[in-house]
Amino acid sequence: MIIADTNVVSELFKPAPASQVLTWLGESVDVTISAVTIGEIWAGIENLPEGSRKAGLATLATELFDEFGDDVEPYDFRAARIYGRIVTERRRRGRPIGYADAQIAAICLANDCPVATRNVKDFTDLGLAIINPWEAAAAH
């Protein structure tokens, strides 16, 4: 299993998603998302002014997230404990990490699976395997 970071999922909401990401997703068998990513996407949509763009993105989000069904990885007790360690260690090293990134990383570590992200630097030094879909397709 590979957990896609929010920036991978949000790429699908663009009028012209990066071809590398679409290729990587098409070739990847076991990609899922976390509940944290769903929350981040919905927060972005809710922040938009009322109108056709917001309505269209809300429809797309509903359809996309429905496809994952019960395969969405939760932020659970194990992930919460790992999250505490990640945030604390990063702060001590002078490299704070955003809450959502720390939660997604914790979910990945709790499930022993890689994260797919464009923001590689945000996830380095966590003991986590990282895949950059913007570069992974070129590596094939």
Annotated binding site: 5, 101
Beta bridge partners of 86: none
Q: Are 116 and 29 in contact (CB under 8 A)?
A: no
Residue with tokens 């404990």: 81
Strand-pairing partners, residue 115, are: 3, 130
Query: Which distant-in-sequence residues (6+ apart) come within 8 Å of 100 by Cβ?
Result: 6, 36, 39, 40
Query: Sheet of 31-32: strands edge to edge?
Result: 31-32, 2-4, 115-116, 130-131
List, as residue ranges, the binding site for Mg(2+).
Answer: 5, 101
